[in-house]
Amino acid sequence: MVCTEPTTSADTMALDSQYVMHTYARLPVVFVRGEGCFVYDADGKEYLDLVAGIAVNGLGHCPPKVVEAIREQAGTLMHTSNLYHTVPQPKLAKLLVEISGMTKAFFCNSGAEANEAAMKLARKAAKASGNEAKFEIVTAEQSFHGRTMGAITATGQPKYQKAFEPLVPGFRYVPYNDTDALKAAVGENTCAVILEPVQGESGVHPANPEYLKAARELCDKLNAALVFDEVQTGLGRTGKMFGYQHFGVVPDIMTLAKTLGGGFPIGCCLARDKWADVFEPGDHAATFGGNPLACAVSRVALKVLVEEGMIENSATLGDYFIGRLRALASPHVKEVRGKGLWIGMELYPDAGGARRFCEALQRAGILAKETHVNTIRFAPPLVATKDEIDWAMERIRPVLAMP
């Protein structure tokens, strides 16, 4: 067998095209290195990363303490399976419980897996109530919860579901932030209501506090689990540790991933009080879930997040960035909204779509991601500085001034 290494970006993209399934509409750039808020392509060009690996690189690229933790744990113990105890897993669980107000953790590898765990947990708890029909899960239209079968069923967007029907039975969808519709959909047979405190994929739409309070009351009344998908909103992205803290509404079950590993893959489903002891041995599992490498790294990442003031930075820098984006006064911009460093810039329908602006931003050395056709989404690393945002604004201004 002749094995030729790719030598140019074009080689890499050709290799990708030939050997990797075409599930991503990648932009034509090959990244080879990252440091702080910047990534570098194969030609050495630098980009300010305002996507942060879709909110994964909250601590920036290659955060030194996380890199060091990976090195140390990789040379000690990477994996033994959940047949045995390992030291890092319960230590991470304890830290997460302390910061989240939850009671116990289940570890997995991604956001979708965390949501699968949450849904199974809610269904099992409901079955124990004696009502065999109590399996309905209510989720919001335009939500996003991941790409496994359960997670795409929970995701209230037909475009992600159509090709894969039949979906998992027992789901109902309601318009986000519509309290009356929620009240009409939630009943005796509801086992869970799953919501994002700030909807991301729909274009960064924060919940109304009254809506989440109504969801809390309904779940309490009907003995259903209130699940917050904090995969994207959790861990500082919105300027607080968790998105729910903006609203004063505490969920029963909460899912995390993205920033949780500081760039390393890990997911988690947290549950509180009576929901924390629903799973028994054999109910749920993940071979890689909670492996010592991911858990040791995640614990360091969480400590860095807290000790280095990144959550406060997300709040203050987010306000600054939103203010500067609003002050652009571009004729294309309909609205700028967000919380912390989690910002959506919605363009008018006649602006020609957000993707062309994201492509122009990339040429100018800024990474940003379009969502829902007309919204440019900014999710900078939480370590970004005012100077970096000013640097970004110098490049964003001419792009938003395009005809």
Segment 115 to 134, residues that bind ligand PLP, using CB under 6 A: 115
Calpha distance 321→343 (Å, rounded): 9
Closest residue to ligand PLP, based on beta-carbon distance: 111
* Residue 370, number of CB atoms within 10 A of its CB: 20
**Rounded least distance, CB 259 to ligand PLP, Å:** 11
Residue range at the interface with ligand PLP (CB under 6 A); choices 108-116, 237-245, 285-293, 323-331: 108-116
Point out which span in 1-9, 34-42, 144-152, 384-392 binds ligand PLP (CB under 6 A). 144-152
Sequence letter at residue 135: F
Nearest to 302 by CA among 72, 73, 78, 94: 94
Measured distance CA(140)–CA(4) in Å, rounded: 48
The residue within the footprint of ligand PLP, chosen from 61, 134, 145, 246 (CB under 6 A), is 145
Closest approach, Cβ 387 to ligand PLP, in A, equals 29
Binding ligand PLP (rule: CB under 6 A), the pick from 110, 238, 259, 298 is: 110
386 is catalytic: no
Contact (CB, 8 A) for 305 and 259: yes
Given the rule CB under 6 A, which of 73-81, 225-233, 289-297, 328-336 is the region that contacts ligand PLP? 225-233
Helix, strand and coil content of the chain, in percent to the nearest 5, comes to: 40, 20, 40
Shortest reach from residue 231's CB to ligand PLP, in Å: 4
Nearer to ligand PLP, 100 or 232 (CB): 232
Report the candidate in 30, 91, 34 with the shortest Cα–Cα distance to residue 63. 34
Q: Is 162 a catalytic residue?
A: no
Tell me which residues in 195-214 interact with ligand PLP (CB under 6 A).
Answer: 196, 200
Q: What span, in angstroms and rounded, lies between the C-alpha atoms of 292 and 179?
A: 42
Known active-site residue 390: no
Q: Which is nearer to ligand PLP, 88 or 146 (CB)?
A: 146
H-type alpha helices, 191-291: 209-222
Residue-wise DSSP of 19-80: HS-S-----S--EEEEEBTEEEETT--EEEESSHHHHT-TT-BS-HHHHHHHHHHHTT----
Minimal distance in Å, beta carbon 149 to ligand PLP? Answer: 13
* 229 binds ligand PLP, rule: CB under 6 A: yes
In this structure, are residues 354 and 371 in contact, taking their beta carbons and an 8 Å threshold? yes
In the complex, the smallest distance separating the C-beta of residue 267 from ligand PLP, rounded to whole angstroms, is 6
End-to-end CA distance of the chain: 52
Kindly list the catalytic residues: 144, 229, 258
Given the rule CB under 6 A, which residues bind ligand PLP? 54, 110-112, 115, 144-146, 196, 200, 229, 231-232, 257
